Amino acid sequence: MNNFKLHAPTDFVFGKEAELQVADMLKKHGATKVLIHYGSGSVIKSGLMQRVEDVLNAANISYVKLGGAQPNPVDTLVYEGIDLCRKENVDFILAVGGGSTIDSAKSIAVGVPYDGDFWDLFDGKTIEKAIPVATILTIPAAGSEASDSMVLNGTKGGKVLKRGAGSSHVIPVFSLLNPELNYTLPAFQTACGVADMMAHVMERYFTTVKDVEISDRLCEAILLAIITEAPKAIKDPNNYSARANLTWAGTVAHNGSCGVGRIGDWSSHNLEHELSALYDVAHGAGLAVMFPAWMKFVCETDLDRFVQFAGRVWGVDTFGDKKAVALKGIEEMEKFFTSIGLPINFEQLGAKKEDIDKMVETLNINVGDTFGSFKKLTMDDARKIYELAV
Amino acid sequence: MNNFKLHAPTDFVFGKEAELQVADMLKKHGATKVLIHYGSGSVIKSGLMQRVEDVLNAANISYVKLGGAQPNPVDTLVYEGIDLCRKENVDFILAVGGGSTIDSAKSIAVGVPYDGDFWDLFDGKTIEKAIPVATILTIPAAGSEASDSMVLNGTKGGKVLKRGAGSSHVIPVFSLLNPELNYTLPAFQTACGVADMMAHVMERYFTTVKDVEISDRLCEAILLAIITEAPKAIKDPNNYSARANLTWAGTVAHNGSCGVGRIGDWSSHNLEHELSALYDVAHGAGLAVMFPAWMKFVCETDLDRFVQFAGRVWGVDTFGDKKAVALKGIEEMEKFFTSIGLPINFEQLGAKKEDIDKMVETLNINVGDTFGSFKKLTMDDARKIYELAV
């Protein structure tokens, strides 16, 4: 096990009506002027925004609002949010929505106190401060409600970019998680969220670090819970306990707790980002396509780990040829993705083999010549993985 | 799943030489005058105290020291610590040791700002503030390095008491966990720590709350890791990875993360406290005796849960009669305790059947007429459980 630091200070309120505690939590955490950031009209249509505003008004908490955050959040809105926060002396950002809204909020939060183009902070410049961010989560998937990271789309020099950045300064100060808010999520979006949270766990699970039994087991625990609960939520969208178990699984998948003492490998996220930047497909759907392909390409790097994954997570009989067991585990995962309505290849996703050149080109801009840690990958490898996904 | 709040803000540094970051962490968290609280001479003999003092001196951090914390910490030292902190204007307590030292430090921390006898705070009075506490952990067991609770012994009105109290104000601000500091722990003490951390998980696991798959799985994950790693650490005390896995298992067993959305049942801890108060036996050894007895008494309350426990944690074949499967799981747990050198009955522990009256009498003082939530227990039930443990 590697040395590690872990500081997961997010203050959670979880359960029915959790959002009604927003004023108490804002006061507890010192907010005086709040930007409420949200996405499309769904949080308005559902009545959530009205409930939040009613609570803030009753508590005399001053706020401004900025909507328009999109799936795969974009930089234009971030510039707008930064200007608004500066003009209104906002000292706290409350994101109401899913991962994209939260990531957009985090990007605004780091941009406000930064004296330059905020894209610098996605280009490797250290994030030294940020306005505090809190969340009311409506979609369990990205884990951004407790993570130290964010992803953003934009254009720079004519290229479409999808970049990630991270800092302890963007870990939400508090998050209010009411699983009932997920009842209106369509089955496909629920499934995409499931793939995203599973990816967050698996990207930590496949590590070259040895002797990590406690975090192996924690990773497996989260995956096992997701595999049990996801089909229930998809079959019955109003199944509270399935929604609740999935919501918390999504949070612990990405708050750092299951990745302690190990080095993760985020290649599948990197590979997928080119798909969602190019086709604007749901991130989770792209992950369901890219993760099995990545696994097939890298599994011989550590067959024992893939055998453990197959056995403990997918219940595969682990006797016999290791490669066969490993592939059987991957196949079971593909079957699971298919069973909850996710694509597992380019054709099902709507991606095109002819675009692989473009994907590799942009990937190269985004990650450099090599990427990955479980197995270090070149652009040639990336091309082969994309081909395996066709 | 029940609604819940979770705030686990402890800032962790984990790994080799973690203790050398003590000055940086004290500064990060605003300490100006520190009380270093420790137990017996072992932290001095091992050189740990000298390393800590060297780091503090180099960083010009002012401190005073108070040793003498004992296994099953006692109130006399707490009074002394409170006086010392007030006299020296201490604003931060650093506990260097195991759970007893940390609990003693926490008791001092709540006593300093309290205007009355600190025992009130163990008698149900709300803890409203505390001096911040941090830890350098030398014994993985109690989980006090990240928990919101503490346990203390003392005498009041001629009765020997062992009482617990809890508050978010006593969650350590930071904890430095270097598994190498456990190399010198004797096998029996290591095993007692294992029983303690397993008890913390199992006391959360056995709940009447339904549909808690994510926290069920997290609980099982921690138990599975402990069961794998404990024998390695006992066989080879200098096995870093076994010590590291156990250390982190002990922390997540009791920082609240595996108990979300459920109601725990702390009856076994209550039952055990009477043993360690009466005989001054190691808490973990007492738990290894009382937990199986409690399980045998209560298992029919929810056989399905005990079957799940037997199957998922102990690998018991779950076909067939539920009661038989449940008992087989308990038997496997007893075998495991025995295999790592723990007692599983009064005789092995050195407790006496004749003292059961005394145990029940003091238990009654400590918990009232009934206790427990998985199954509500009377003093008659407690007597029967003690008898099952003989």
Report whether pLDDT(B162) > 80: no
Question: Are B222 and A245 inside 8 Å of each other by CB?
Answer: no
DSSP B59: T
Give the pLDDT mean for B158-183.
91
Residues of chain A found within 8 Å of residue B13, distances taken between Cβ atoms: 5
- The reply to whether A1 touches chain B by the CB within 8 Å rule is yes
- The reply to whether B216 touches chain A by the CB within 8 Å rule is yes
Confidence at residue A73, expressed as pLDDT on a 0 to 100 scale: 80
Confidence at residue A378, expressed as pLDDT on a 0 to 100 scale: 98
Task: Using pLDDT thresholds of 50, 70 and 90, give the confidence band for residue B163.
Answer: confident
Largest CA distance in chain B: 66
Residues of chain B found within 8 Å of residue A134, distances taken between Cβ atoms: none
Question: Are A252 and B248 inside 8 Å of each other by CB?
Answer: no
3-state helix, strand, coil in chain B (%, to 5): 55, 15, 30
Q: Which two tokens stand for residue A206?
A: 């496949």
- Select the residue of A12, A215, A244 nearest B7 (Cβ to Cβ): A12
Largest CA distance in chain A: 66
Residue B107 to residues A94, B80, B367, B389, Cα–Cα distance (Å): 37, 11, 20, 32
Question: Are B225 and A211 inside 8 Å of each other by CB?
Answer: no
Q: How far is B244 from chain A (nearest CA, A)?
A: 7
CA–CA gap between residue A47 and residue A43 (Å, rounded): 6
- The reply to whether B212 touches chain A by the CB within 8 Å rule is yes
Question: Are A248 and B260 inside 8 Å of each other by CB?
Answer: yes
Cα angle, residue A388 at apex, residues A342 and A344 outer, rounded to 5° = 5
Residues of chain A found within 8 Å of residue B15, distances taken between Cβ atoms: 1-4, 261
Confidence at residue B115, expressed as pLDDT on a 0 to 100 scale: 95
Confidence at residue B276, expressed as pLDDT on a 0 to 100 scale: 85
**What element of type H or E holds A332?**
helix A322-339
Confidence at residue B41, expressed as pLDDT on a 0 to 100 scale: 84
Residues of chain B found within 8 Å of residue A11, distances taken between Cβ atoms: 5, 7, 9
Three-state secondary structure call for residue A216: helix
DSSP A238: T
CA–CA gap between residue A99 and residue A107 (Å, rounded): 12
- Select the residue of A9, A225, A261 nearest B213 (Cβ to Cβ): A225
- Select the residue of A212, A214, A241 nearest B211 (Cβ to Cβ): A241
- The reply to whether A225 touches chain B by the CB within 8 Å rule is yes
Q: Can you tell me the ipTM of this complex?
A: 0.96
Cα angle, residue B331 at apex, residues B326 and B336 outer, rounded to 5° = 130
Per-residue b/e over A97-118, b at no fewer than 16 CB within 10 Å? bbbbbbbbbbbbbbbbebeeeb
- Select the residue of A8, A12, A260 nearest B248 (Cβ to Cβ): A260
A347-351, B187-191, B366-370: least confident range: B366-370
Query: Which residue ranges of chain A lie beneath pLDDT 70?
Result: 160
- Select the residue of A212, A220, A245 nearest B221 (Cβ to Cβ): A220
Residues of chain B found within 8 Å of residue A213, distances taken between Cβ atoms: 225, 228-229, 241, 245
Report whether pLDDT(B354) > 90: yes
Q: Which two tokens stand for residue B343?
A: 């007692």
Task: Using pLDDT thresholds of 50, 70 and 90, give the confidence band for residue B40.
Answer: confident
Give the pLDDT mean for B159-173.
88
pTM over 0.95: yes
DSSP string, A276-318: HHHH---HHHHHHHHHHHHHHHHGGGGHHHHHHHHHHHH----
